[in-house]
Amino acid sequence: MSADERTSTIARSVRTILDCIDDDPARDGLIKTPERFAAALQFFTSGYTQADPSTLVGDAEWDENHSELVLVRDISIFSLCEHHLVPFHGKVHIAYIPNGKIVGLSKLARLATLYARRLQVQERLTTQIADAVANILNPLGVAVLVEATHMCMVMRGVQKVGASTVTHCMRGVFRTDPALRKEFINLATR
């Protein structure tokens, strides 16, 4: 299905939803809402159009004899909860121990964004980022920590403003070396 066909199909569906929840879906403020929502939803889920995450790295991978922790902290992410189609947002912290190769730091942020722009649960998002870094770089270890606020918990359900969720995924030496794991968590959460 083309982007235009997706936009049209989504917009028709949104019109139906608006008919169900608003007494006047044809009023000025809502006239173009179906098309705006369709475009926004396609942007929010654009991570599906990137079939191979390794293409994000491109030629930004270099041979380097660095063997200590590399950490990119506080990568902002926004995603949609697959259970409610309501946003969650937060920070991703990605670390790796190189195994003869390093990557352009912005590529780690791009990987986090790619997976966040899909319908998600935070647990899967965390694992997908870690697995992508592990598969692309083949490092000695990868650690990913995600801290997020889920609007499905804030706006509905238990309605707990200020609650956040923390998930992490450890691969390689981060899983087997407690001191390295502790160093990562301390650096990522300070």
Give the domain range for residue 12.
3-47
- The catalytic residue among 93, 128, 150, 168 is 150
The answer to whether residue 42 is catalytic is no
9, 102: one domain = no
Report yes or no on 67 lying in a domain. Answer: yes
The answer to whether residue 84 is catalytic is yes
Report yes or no on 144 lying in a domain. Answer: yes
What's the pLDDT tens digit per position in 46-96? 999 876 888 888 888 898 899 999 999 999 999 999 999 999 999 999 999
Q: Which of 25-29, 124-128, 151-155 has the highest mean pLDDT?
A: 124-128
Residue 159: per-residue pLDDT: 82
> Considering its fold, how many domains does the chain have in total?
2
What's the pLDDT tens digit per position in 127-175? 999 999 999 999 999 999 999 999 988 888 788 888 899 999 999 999 9
Identify the CATH number of the domain in which residue 69 sits.
3.30.1130.10
Report yes or no on 53 lying in a domain. Answer: no
Report yes or no on 123 lying in a domain. Answer: yes
Give ∠ CA 50-143-168 in degrees, rounded to 5.
Answer: 90
- The catalytic residue among 81, 120, 147, 168 is 81
Q: Is the pTM of this model over 0.75?
A: yes
28, 107: one domain = no
Residues whose CB is less than 8 angstroms from the CB of residue 68 and which lie 6 or more positions away in sequence, other chains included: 97
